[in-house]
Structure 1
Amino acid sequence: MLITEDLLHYLWKFRLFERNNLQTTDGEEIEVFSAGMAHTDGGPDFQNARIRIGQTTWAGNVELHINSADWNRHGHQTDGAYNNVILHVVYKDDQPVVMHDGRKVPTLELHNRIPEALYQRYHQLIFSNQKFIPCEGSITLADDMTMRNWLTRVLVERMEKRSAAVLEALQVNRGDWEETFYRLLAANFGFKVNALPFEMMAKSLPQIILAKHKNYPLQIEALIFGQAGFLEDDFADEYPRKLKDEYQFLRTKHRLQPVEKHLWKFLRMRPQNFPTIRLAQFAALVLNSNHLFSKILEIKDVAALRDLFSGAQVNPYWETHYRFDAQSKPAPKNMGAAAIDVILLNTVALALFSYGKHLQKQHYINRAIQLLEYLPAEKNHITDDFVNLGMKITSAMESQGLLELHKSYCSHKKCLQCAVGNKILKFA
């Protein structure tokens, strides 16, 4: 058998080994009342176990190794953190374990106690060469409730990780949630391709400056396009000429330094997603919603959230343009439903979760998760592969959970730390 310590941890934690006539390697009878709590930091693997060995019931720690000789190889014999180990659980007992005070550590050998069917399922998960995920041939063994509960948990793990960056930005912004949300929103307005220049533009143009000009649409548009680096050229059209004139004055007034224009990407993009159009939509949203994050905190209805973004009307100039001085066929340029849903998913839900975590207010965290439950599922090559395995993905909560499941568990073959993997193994 190919045995890993992860498998031993799993077998011990859930007591899935053969327990009839359980004895130490010295022949003393063993009864496990509690396997203890798994411990991932330094020290023994399980803490606060409760085990009867012979006539004595012990409370203490349990250490696991593939071979008992690993105890000495890892230097435990001289480490005081292991003095309270009451049982050494190994796959193979190949060397007696003696502490520095001469005490022999009781040892339980699991060789020949691992159910063959369970091992075969484990071997198939960990060592087979699947194309997508380890359990792609058996994922349907996990019932809907197990899958849903686990996806909710890994979704929260995903949001916890992502919120760390938001809370770090909050510190940089000295606790200003409006500025933090404004920068997060800007980065997500650029989607992946233009996220960096959008974020740089927002950092170079603090929201407090925009607030001073909130009643002057042309000045807001001039500040945003100017700081994005798009007003350095000479223009034929009247609208960009006016923007440039306004920006030259405002740039001097506020001592602004624009982002370099070459950072923005147009290549292989649909014209609807050109950075010029995204900047126009961003300007419209800034004009439409003062103290945007405060408004979002007050809005509990998803339809009202969508209306907040869809109500932002871009300057009429863009109805017939995708770039300055380049006229095109008339087409609406306001944010579409799909684009709004992406912003709600990546910006609003994340901000609500981060806000709730920062203030330790669970109802904001719940609102974030409920928002993801309401939004449609994302469609990408990972979710498509899960669908091909027979999974039904109906919401962004499920698609986000699956993305995290694939990234943090499936890709690293952490099947024993996964509720789906556990369910499959227990079918053995």
Structure 2
Amino acid sequence: MNEDFLHYVWKYQLFSVHDLKTMTNEDVSILKVGIHNYNSGPDFLNAQLKIEDQLWVGNVEIHLKSSDWYAHHHEIDENYDAVILHVVWEDDATVYMKNNKPLPVLVLKDFVLASALNNYRNLFSTKQNWIPCEKEISTVDNFTIDNWKERLFFERLERKSIEMNQVLLDNQNDFEAVLFQLLAKNFGLKVNGEVFFSLATSFDFSILRKVRLDETQLAALFFGQAGFLKEVIEDEYHQQLKITYSYLRHKYNLEPIANVQFSFFRMRPPNFPTIRIAQLIALYHLHQNLFSKMMQIETLKGFYELFETDVHPFWKTHYTFDTISKLYPKKLTKSFVDLLLINTIIPLKFLYQKNRGEVNEMEFLKILKKIKSEKNSIISKFDEIGVQSKNAYETQSLLELKNNYCAKKRCLQCAIGVRLLSEK
């Protein structure tokens, strides 16, 4: 038993409302349960009750035990002076108001519906399911799940945008610089994401703006800062970049990133960090004001066209600086662009629109619904228990469900959990 369950029972009145009585045998009628307060202070605000023939308007506090009132020091907190009813599971102490009269107490244990209690115990039993409702979720109606998915999707966007906002503050609200840093992190994928982010933050974005029109200087900046120009390699292109980087390093007082290493281990050659850096170079050499362009694009096709870039001819026959390979174009694939959209571009665009007070929710839904479902262990497991995903919008929603509700057993804040708990 936990307080969240008691909050849920009170909020949805999952108890017999007839013949309610306080511990001092006074009749209680609930006119309004109040507004659920998720911040500090009483649990439900502005409730309306009738105790005997007296109408009361005030707050309701909920605890497992009456003695928790003193354990939480509410007796010295003026925020609790307007509490009109103490709702508990077990009454083990008398709580006094400021006028030294006992605070009315309602013991829910005596009135909770057996169905609600059984559903709660089944959902929160000690059995080790992948998610608490693993065996029941497939029975929940599509209307509940579909509406909850949309809420989850925007919760995920909101959470990602909050994380990105810190990067924005670190860059003095320069969205172009933030886009570059977060795109770079995404280009590194999970294995090299952090080191790519270190690369992108190792120099001021204003330097990139100055050198981007000269592809050799731009490549020298990226590969030099990444540490790939330290080696002695008998290749004309590598030597040219090395000379150029020496010039840039002196001019802009640059220092290559230290104490980090790019991983090539067990990676497919198209994902080698050298190739991803070359693709990032091609993107920024081709496009000026990339963030501004992205903010104007509203279709998936438009984003695919934006990322149609071509790497330097050297990289068409190389995966690393020191080994020649078979000719291969090494363009960004649509599936890779999808990852950039899901993880960086759409959350950053959401943050930008939110800061301007003009969020276009339908735009995000339209794009994500056209992107194929993501493939990972979480989505595969949902599929096994009867919850399928048709597109990236749905997979993002399910990832949020699993990581921020199921894993934390927040069933009482989840529409699916509430639906299952309310079944008779």
TM-score range, shorter chain: over 0.9
Structure 1 residue 98: Cα displacement: 2.1
Q: Which residue of 1 aligns with 2:163?
A: 165
323-332 or 296-305: bigger deviation:
323-332
1:87-236 mapped onto 2 (5 Å cutoff)? 87-236=85-234
1:252-277 C-alpha deviation (Å, 9 max, x unpaired): 22221112485111111111101000
1:210-260 C-alpha deviation (Å, 9 max, x unpaired): 222333222221221111111111122222122212222222222211124
Structure 1 residue 358: Cα displacement: 1.8
Q: Which residue of 2 aligns with 1:257?
A: 255
Q: Distance in 1 between matches of 2:252 and 2:75?
A: 67
Structure 1 residues 302 and 94: CA distance shift in structure 2, 3 A: same
Q: Distance in 1 between matches of 2:411 and 2:231?
A: 56
Q: Which residue of 2 aligns with 1:392?
A: 388
The yes-or-no answer on 1:86 pairing with 2:87 is no
Structure 1 residues 74 and 173: CA distance shift in structure 2, 3 A: closer
7-16 or 368-377: bigger deviation:
368-377
1:248-397 mapped onto 2 (5 Å cutoff)? 248-260=246-258, 263-309=261-307, 311-363=308-360, 365-397=361-393
1:110-165 C-alpha deviation (Å, 9 max, x unpaired): 22322222212211111232331000010023222211221222222222222122
Q: Distance in 2 between matches of 1:116 and 1:267?
A: 57
297-306 or 96-105: bigger deviation:
96-105
Q: Is the 8 A contact 1:350 1:368 kept in 2?
A: no
Corresponding residue pairs, total: 424
1:367-421 C-alpha deviation (Å, 9 max, x unpaired): 3343323322211111111111111111222111111111111111111111100
Residue 228 of structure 1 aligns with an amino acid whose one-letter code is A
Q: Distance in 1 between matches of 2:342 and 2:165?
A: 18
The yes-or-no answer on 1:426 pairing with 2:422 is yes
Q: Which residue of 2 aligns with 1:245?
A: 243
Structure 1 residue 342: Cα displacement: 0.5
Residue 114 of structure 1 aligns with an amino acid whose one-letter code is V
Q: Is the 8 A contact 1:281 1:334 kept in 2?
A: yes
Q: Is the 8 A contact 1:49 1:60 kept in 2?
A: yes
Q: Is the 8 A contact 2:310 2:329 kept in 1?
A: no
Structure 1 residue 366: Cα displacement: 4.4
Structure 1 residues 45 and 215: CA distance shift in structure 2, 3 A: closer
1:19-58 mapped onto 2 (5 Å cutoff)? 19-58=17-56
Residue 70 of structure 1 aligns with an amino acid whose one-letter code is D
SS in 1 for 2:172: coil
Q: Distance in 2 between matches of 1:176 and 1:75?
A: 46
Structure 1 residue 344: Cα displacement: 1.2
Residue 37 of structure 2 aligns with an amino acid whose one-letter code is H
Structure 1 residue 282: Cα displacement: 0.5
Q: Is the 8 A contact 1:224 1:279 kept in 2?
A: yes
SS in 2 for 1:129: coil
Q: Distance in 2 between matches of 1:413 and 1:323?
A: 47
SS in 2 for 1:192: helix
For normalisation by structure 2, the TM-score amounts to: 0.95
Q: Distance in 1 between matches of 2:200 and 2:65?
A: 57
Q: Is the 8 A contact 1:64 1:89 kept in 2?
A: yes
Q: Distance in 2 between matches of 1:51 and 1:115?
A: 20
230-239 or 277-286: bigger deviation:
230-239
Q: Distance in 1 between matches of 2:19 and 2:264?
A: 71
Q: Distance in 2 between matches of 1:245 and 1:26?
A: 88
Q: Distance in 1 between matches of 2:274 and 2:132?
A: 43
Residue 276 of structure 1 aligns with an amino acid whose one-letter code is T
414-423 or 196-205: bigger deviation:
196-205
For normalisation by structure 1, the TM-score amounts to: 0.95
Q: Is the 8 A contact 1:281 1:313 kept in 2?
A: yes
Structure 1 residues 94 and 174: CA distance shift in structure 2, 3 A: closer
230-239 or 204-213: bigger deviation:
204-213
Q: Which residue of 2 aligns with 1:405?
A: 401
Poorly superposed stretches of 4+, deviation over 4 Å: none
Q: Distance in 1 between matches of 2:164 and 2:355?
A: 10
Identity of aligned residues (%): 40
Q: Is the 8 A contact 2:195 2:260 kept in 1?
A: no
SS in 1 for 2:353: helix
Give the superposed CA RMSD: 1.7
SS in 2 for 1:127: coil
SS in 2 for 1:65: strand
1:276-296 C-alpha deviation (Å, 9 max, x unpaired): 000010001011111100001
Unaligned runs of at least 5 residues, structure 1: none
Q: Distance in 2 between matches of 1:200 and 1:7?
A: 45
1:44-103 C-alpha deviation (Å, 9 max, x unpaired): 211100111111111001111222233333333343322211111122233333224221
Q: Distance in 2 between matches of 1:139 and 1:261?
A: 47
